[in-house]
Amino acid sequence: MKTAEIFDGFLENLKVGAKASTISSRRKEIAKALNKEFRSNESCIDHTLMVGSFGRHTAIKGVSDLDLIFILPPGIRSTYEGDTGPRRMLERVRDALKSRYTNTDIRVDQCVVRVQFTSNAFKFEVQPAFENDDGSFDYPDTRAERWMVTKPREEIAATKECSDRTSTNMRHLARMARAWKNQNGVNIGGLLIDTLVHGFFSKTPDYDSAGTSSFDLMVRDFFEFLKDEPDQDYYRALGSNQRVNVKSRFQPKAKKAYNCCLEAIAFEGKDSANKKWREVFGTSVPLKTIESVRSFDDTEQFIEDRYPIDIAHSVKIDCEVTQAGWRPTSLREMLRDKVLLMPNKNLRFKVTSCTVAHPYEVKWKVLNRGPEAERRNNIRGQIIDSSVPNVRKERTTFRGEHVVECFVVKEGVVVARDRIDVPISSTSGVAGGV
């Protein structure tokens, strides 16, 4: 496939799609319930503002967090002053929504009222706020016990200005960056992504009018920009200039993506180019419609076919390698020292750290690669459960380059993921299980 065909198909597959109509319906229901509570009317469109990635039009398929500001009547502002005012306001919003959604999980969460729609695998975070004369909003914060200021209109305006100036490429790149985040488990917030994309276009005009035939070079240069960013605790958001915290370092995974881009560009026109782009962005990247005849069963499954993905947390996995008569060894230490696995090793993949609050599920994927796996008709790749909580036990069997992935599922959404390469030498490999 040509570069333009790959990225045209990729962007089409990233669209929010049919989910957008459901989101719109839920927004109207929430607005109706709150307008009834605060204004004694049942308008389903007035006094609300979609913010976040959906409001900036940079959201992609699988989006699970919807940010909605409900604009409060200014006449009640004095009633909710003082250190108890923020909590009383959020509790009033919570109670009004509970009257509308009697069987839905609705709770106060510091600055918002969270409405979890399990049937749709997404949640609305409803933020009641008073609008100020300059277009900013005062919102309640129960931790600070006071009203804080946010400026989402300025962020929306800056996104639109940059997108218009760059022939929509700003929004295209922001969506592709979200696909990279979700594919590679990068714990980075949506506002920071849009801020970094905005910063990239501020540094170069090279892609302001680029078509999709040049998107391979655009994403390559974007990941080069990301990998070279200095470590810092926060950035200033596009438009509003408000502080956006950095959750975790994104530079190492950006460097890996940059190197994958170089390989994909070198493979242009070959099947391997599509596959390499998939390593960067996931299965939204299309493959050629005509596949070569396989001598093996393609049993690989993809987590995005079972759950929406919206990475908002971090998880780390390692593998304890053991063999009779030998002390256990960390696989990551072996990889660091460039030591390959040998036959007859017991492998115990385990979660070593996770920022997701309980309860959650852990799923695994063990994928065998290479000619030996294909000859044995044993590539595996199914989505499977833990052997014991947070642990997957395997054993080396035949050689090849293998991959083990871990997915953390919270309320029906994959919110964290990690992977580890398992290089097997001689006659070993990862197959079967315990």
Say how many Å lie between the first and final Cα of the chain, rounded.
Answer: 41
Least reliable range by pLDDT among 173-177, 351-355, 397-401, 412-416 = 397-401
Task: Give the pLDDT band (50/70/90) at residue 399.
Answer: low
Distance separating alpha carbons of residues 24 and 27, to the nearest angstrom: 5
Angle formed at CA 169 by CA 168 and CA 170, multiple of 5 degrees = 90
| Res 289 pLDDT > 70 | no
Across 276-296, b (16+ Cβ under 10 Å) vs e yields bbbbbbbebbbeeeeeeeeee
| Other Cβ atoms within 10 Å of 51 Cβ, number | 22
Number of residues that make up the chain? 434
DSSP 311-356: --S-EEEEEEEE-TTS--EEHHHHHHTTPPB-SS-EEEEEEEEE-S
Query: What domains appear along the chain, each with residue ranges and CATH number?
Result: 19-150 (3.30.460.90), 155-265 (no CATH), 297-431 (2.60.40.10)
**pLDDT value, residue 62:** 85
**pLDDT value, residue 18:** 74
